[in-house]
Amino acid sequence: MKKAFVGLGGNIGDSCSILGQALKHIEQLSGVFELKVSSFYLTTPVGPILQDHFVNAVCCFDTAYSATDLLTYLQNIEKLLGKVDKPKNAPRIIDLDLLFFDTEVHVTPRLQVPHPRWKERLFVLTPLADLVDELDVPSLDKKELVRVNLPQLLREFPNMHQETVSFLQEKIAI
């Protein structure tokens, strides 16, 4: 079994409901076990496009799937919930981003794990810190693991994008 962390977000429609539906679909996958979900947060968009705030969360679970198989399942859930191709940083119904897959590194055109910008986004760090205090993150050269203390990372976060993250609702029951 591998431990996977998935970021969830959206800002079109009833985002809390859509994220809840995504979580139900993830939980129903036969290779997913022990699903845990962060609280939901209302977050400001990052990027140049003027748009509504997002709802963001992070979930983690044990999985029997490979990283590429899990990515395929996540993309299928996105499509089922109405995701369509969009320009980068555009509003979206749902995004399911594979943030970490155990301590594995994947760098392909289709999959980059650890997610390349996870450390630069409060909308990822804040809900991630609901789930774990520390995380062993592999370096991209696969030679070492770096122990990351999330509360400390949040305290020292430079917030280059002037993000705001507000608590929206407790962890939902699935």
Residue 6, helix vs strand vs coil: strand
> Which domain, by its residues, includes 138?
2-167
Q: Classify 18 as helix, strand or coil.
A: helix
Question: How many domains is the chain partitioned into structurally?
Answer: 1
Does residue 34 lie in a domain region? yes
In a domain? residue 174: no
Q: Taking Cα atoms as reference points, which of 56, 27, 31 lies closest to residue 41?
A: 56
Q: What are phi and psi of 126, to 5 degrees?
A: -65, -55
Q: What is the pLDDT along the chain (174 residues), one digit of tens a residue?
A: 999 999 999 999 999 999 999 999 999 999 999 999 999 999 999 877 788 999 999 999 999 999 999 999 999 999 999 998 887 778 999 999 999 999 999 989 999 999 988 998 999 999 999 999 999 998 766 678 999 999 999 999 999 888 899 998 776 656
Name the residue among 171, 96, 157, 98 with its Cα closest to residue 125: 157
